[in-house]
Amino acid sequence: MSDIISQLKWRYATKKFDPNFKLSQAQLDTLTEAIRLSPSSFGLQPWGFIVVADPDLRKKLRAAAWEQSQITDASHLFVLCRSTEMNQAKIDEYVSAIADQRGLQAKDLAEYAQMMSGSIANKTPEELQSWMARQVYIALGVLLTTCAVEQIDACPMEGFDAAQFDQILGLEAKGLTSLAVCAVGKRSEDDSYANLAKVRFPKEKVISFV
Ligand SMILES: Cc1cc2nc3c(=O)[nH]c(=O)nc-3n(C[C@H](O)[C@H](O)[C@H](O)COP(=O)(O)O)c2cc1C
For residue 91, give the nearest of 162, 41, 147 by alpha carbon: 41
Mutating to test ligand 1, I would choose from 77, 80, 155 the residue with most ligand atoms within 8 A of its C-beta, which is 155
Kindly state if the Cβ of 47 falls inside 6 Å of ligand 1.
Answer: no
Does residue 208 have a pLDDT over 80?
yes
Kindly state if the Cβ of 159 falls inside 6 Å of ligand 1.
Answer: yes
Q: What burial class does residue 181 get, using C-beta atoms within 10 Å of its C-beta: 0-12 exposed, 13-18 middle, 19+ buried?
A: buried
Please report the pLDDT score of residue 156 as a whole number.
98
Please report the pLDDT score of residue 106 as a whole number.
83
Please report the pLDDT score of residue 38 as a whole number.
98
49, 149 in Cβ contact below 8 A?
Answer: no
Q: Can you tell me the mean pLDDT for 10-15?
A: 98
Question: Domains in the chain, please, with CATH?
Answer: 3-206 (3.40.109.10)
What's the chain's average pLDDT? 97
Please report the pLDDT score of residue 2 as a whole number.
81
CA of 8 to the centre of ligand 1 (A): 14
pTM above 0.85, yes or no: yes
Tell me the C-alpha distance between 50 and 185, whole Å.
16
Ligand 1 atom at shortest distance from the alpha carbon of 160: 8
Q: Can you tell me the mean pLDDT for 29-44?
A: 98
Mutating to test ligand 1, I would choose from 72, 140, 158 the residue with most ligand atoms within 8 A of its C-beta, which is 158
Rounded to the nearest 5°, which phi and psi values hold at 151? 55, 45
Q: Can you tell me the mean pLDDT for 11-24?
A: 98
Q: What is the DSSP letter of 39?
A: -
Give percent of the chain above pLDDT 90. 98
CA distances from 202 to 1, 91, 126, 190, 205 (A): 17, 42, 35, 29, 5
Please report the pLDDT score of residue 66 as a whole number.
98
Q: How many CB atoms lie within 10 A of CB 5?
A: 9
Q: Could you read off the pLDDT of 116-158 as tens digits, one per residue?
A: 999 999 999 999 999 999 999 999 999 999 999 999 999 999 9
